[in-house]
Chains A and B, each alone.
Chain A
Amino acid sequence: MTTSLVDAESVLAIDLGSVQTRVSLFDVVDGQYHFIAKGTAPSTVDAPFRDVAESVHQALDSLQEITGRVLVDSDAKIILPTKSNGAGVDRLVVTFSAGPEIRVAIAGLLADVSVGSAQNLVRTTYGKIVETIGLNDRRSPELKIDAVLAAKPDLIILSGGTESGANRSVLRLAELILMVCRVLPQEKRPDLLYAGNSTLAKKIQAVMEKWTHVHVAQNVRPTVDVEDLGPAEEMLNEVVGKIRSRQIGGLQSLATISSATPMPASHAFGRIVRFLSKVYDPVKGVLGVDLGASNTTIAAAFAGNVSVNVLPMGMGKNIKAALLEDGISDIMRWLPLHLSESVVRDYLWQKSVHPGMVPYTTETLAIEQAVARRLLQLGIQKTRDNWPQKVISFEPILASGAVLADIASASQSLLMLLDGIQPVGVTTFILDQNGLTSSLGAIGKINSILPVQVLESKAFLNLGTVISPISRSKYGTQILQVRLEYDDGNEEQFKIQQGTIVSLPLQPGQTAHIHLNPLRRTEIDISRKQRANSFRIIGGVCGAVIDARGRPLVLPQDDSRRRDLMKKWRMSLGK
């Protein structure tokens, strides 16, 4: 895509993570926006600094060193806009995932209706539900007040009442919240987000705003059958930004020079996935996965509608969360070498007290990659009910996070993604090797062209196109014939057996026609039964891959056989 850049401008994006602060510079080169470079520094969100300014300056120092471009003045302030001598940048955006979890209490009417929708709303951001009160809650009003006070929420979400529905019950809940606010000293009162029956919004705002910050969003449940989280999600993320500004030192002052309100990284990530879903196949949808240190974000978008889920489990501080879900066995089964359960458990605990630690040995790297697979599995399990489609079939899948981008080879990343997500059909895997997706999502608010052009650039790594056929054949049975027809007229043929994963020889960027001949009732793309079995593919860094290991991927019970198989799969994709 070539687009004329009428008001070409450089953009600096600051991403405040819980472990790292990252600054990324984007500018116009040869008429196109490009990612220029990034600088990183350990986060200073926590003590002793408790102010992001220090890590931002360190990351900027690193960026200035890499690019040779002056970005800060003698007072250590970011130069905005660009000066005639080229120093500085034109625009600044900020995203954040750092900070303590935001404690959210929910007040709604029916558990399966407004309360459920409010719970779904919380899952779209860095919130933790600490208390829920509803109409069918048998506790006395006093006990409900006590429960909310004990939960110490940063935010209360009040939902309930369809657009022509209940008034009195919602007002009773508002009265209860009012009492909670009156009991607390001003600095400890939770913000209120009202996302219920819109006819009550003004009344509730008028009464409550004397006591706390009140935010009004559209009804999350306009009718009993319809859940509409979109507008409330936008508002919730604004509220999260405001709460974070009070919690994270230095964020407020960054906000004053930023071109857009600082945005939760998960929300910004979802914006890019939503954008891609408008560009790609509307039937299959686009999937984004971000394995962060504290959270895992899963964003699935279909024809412009995005569903974002933030799970409080990650590769750093919250790495133990994967243990708590189903025990350690679901992590152990993904280890390609023998380690005792206690060694694995101790490592996860050790990592949780030192979240920035990187794996040093083959064993610890294997543990982290096993956890990444488990987190991806859990993420898909917990979110797929929200998707309109039953099968896990997306085009493309966008993956982000240090465990995928920084501490794994391309083939290791691809295998982690395939094992964890287990897609079917034809999927292109794109790796955000520079951790830019959230920044681009935030930049999209102020510059719609830049994200498009950077997404198309080499800043993102095409891992390869993966074809995952579905077959009920026995292990070792031939299920697919593949003919790869290169542009220079050469051809290669492959026989694919059930239970194998095969890398087809295609160089990065090289195009070819692939012809698939499924055998024994093998299906290539069950989400699109009419899809032609011949199509053009572009090679990624892992070439093109046929993943015929079956869905769901069943691992042998026998430990040594399982480990041998995993090593074999890994060798099939190269190191």
Chain B
Amino acid sequence: MQAPISHILPLTMIRRARMLPVNGRVLARVGQKVSATDVVADADVSNKHVILNIRRALNLSAQDDLQKIIEHRVGDKVQEGDVIAETSGVFKRVVYAPVSGQIVSISGGQVLLEVQGDHFKLLAGLNGEVTEVIPEQGVILEAHGALIQGVWGNGRINMGMLLNLAQEAGKELTGEMLDVSMRGAVVLGGHCSSPEVLRIGMDLPLRGLILGSMTSELVPVARQVDYPVIVTEGFGIYPINNIAYRILTTNERRDVCLNAVEWDRYTGERPEVVIPLPATGNLAPEVAQFKTGHTVRIKGAPYSKQVVGVLVEMLPGLTLMPNGLRVPAASVRLENNEEINIPLANLDVLD
């Protein structure tokens, strides 16, 4: 049976497409080494337009040929004050561009001008190498290192040196544990239930926060802070799964890249921590089947202390659960050697 997969890998090849929301300019070249916060492409993202009603402004009749009067074509860039259209004769009437921008439509005697807008900068999101450029759209990046995919992120990107404040995988991160020596670092915490911790992180400031879990009440604050927050297990009180914990703690003081996008199941983009390493990894599979021997993660209650185990047997038919439900299930051995039956729907393969 097909299984959902999360990559928690000490060394792998990471290949990611970074694409602009609208067509723009790709700044990076094939072969270029980039860091997570480098701008690889940019675009003018304009959400403002101006309509110039030429016929009305120049007091023209329906019979007048506007093509002769309008001095630009669709696609032309104009500066504020440029002549857009003018009548001939001694007493010319003129329409000037009220703002700088680009003409995006000429129709029915009206010129639609796209006002020069914000400059959208596309960050690399990870330290790696540009392996492909998709003209006007984006780049393909490749990197080698450790990869930890999370389940929730607050939409920010940054990188910094990793500091471990989780002496145990489930240790709660409190405000007292943060101090000025952590300025500019990416902090690893087990669980967080205090909005104050997130606010202190912004004051320091931190460059990122990796948590095993946090209470859902923190979501609004986490969305406000200006550094990336990645949650690896979910909402409630869960420790970081022990595989991710080992990878993160053994890489303490290395630079880590946090791309805390919200998980988009449709595109597959999800929050992830990348730790660039001076070694070569292989590309991990994107699909998996549930099989004996697989390392699996339990996604929900009640196994909030041990979230990872080994699949020891796919159980035939339907299995009775403690709440009386009968569902397809597997037998999973936890790290303490306890074997439990868990619904397949509540497992994902860690690979």
Interface residues of A (CB under 8 A from B): 41-42, 44-50, 54-55, 58, 99-100, 141-142, 145-146, 149-150, 175, 178-179, 182-183, 185, 317, 342-343, 345-351, 353-354, 356-365, 407, 409, 575
Contacts and interface: CB of A to CB of B under 8 A. Distances in A.
Interface string B126-167: 000000000000000000000000011000000000000000
A50 B266 contact: yes
B13 interface: no
Contacts of A141: 51
A409 B234 CA distance: 29
Contact of B301 (A42, A50, A364): A364
A182 B345 contact: no
Interface in B312-351: 321-325, 327, 342-343, 345-346
B288 to A, nearest CB: 10
A347 B327 CA distance: 20
Nearest to A352: B235
Given A47-B268, A182-B104, A360 B302 contact: yes
Q: Which of A46, A54, A346, A347 has the most CB of B within 10 A?
A: A346
A376 to B, nearest CB: 20
B249 interface: no
Contacts of A347: 235-236, 300-301
A354 B287 CA distance: 17
A47 B342 contact: no
A189 to B, nearest CB: 13
9 contacts: A47-B268, A58-B2, A179-B110, A183-B104, A351-B300, A360-B321, A364-B301, A365-B323, A365-B325
B235 A349 contact: yes
B191 to A, nearest CB: 11
Given A178-B107, A343-B236, A349-B219, A46 B268 contact: yes
B322 A360 contact: yes
Nearest to B268: A47
Interface of B: 1-2, 4, 23, 47-51, 104-105, 107-108, 110, 112, 114, 151-152, 215-217, 219, 234-237, 263, 265-269, 286-287, 299-302, 321-325, 327, 342-343, 345-346
A350 B299 contact: yes
Contacts of A357: 299-300, 343, 345-346
B346 to A, nearest CB: 5
Contacts of B105: 179, 182-183
Given A49-B287, A179-B112, A353-B151, A146 B216 contact: no
Given A41-B2, A47-B265, A182-B104, A360 B342 contact: yes
A349 B301 contact: no
Contact of A361 (B110, B234, B323): B323
B165 to A, nearest CB: 22
B49 A142 contact: yes
A179 B301 contact: no
A354 B302 contact: no
Contacts of B345: 356-358
A48 B235 CA distance: 24
A346 B300 contact: no
A562 to B, nearest CB: 21
Contacts of B299: 350, 354, 357
Given A182-B107, A365-B323, A358 B343 contact: yes
A349 B265 CA distance: 15
Given A100-B266, A350-B235, 17 more contacts: A46-B268, A47-B286, A49-B287, A54-B2, A178-B107, A179-B105, A179-B110, A182-B112, A183-B114, A345-B217, A347-B235, A353-B235, A354-B151, A357-B343, A357-B346, A360-B323, A361-B301
B95 to A, nearest CB: 15
A346 B215 contact: yes
A360 B324 contact: no
A575 B324 CA distance: 10
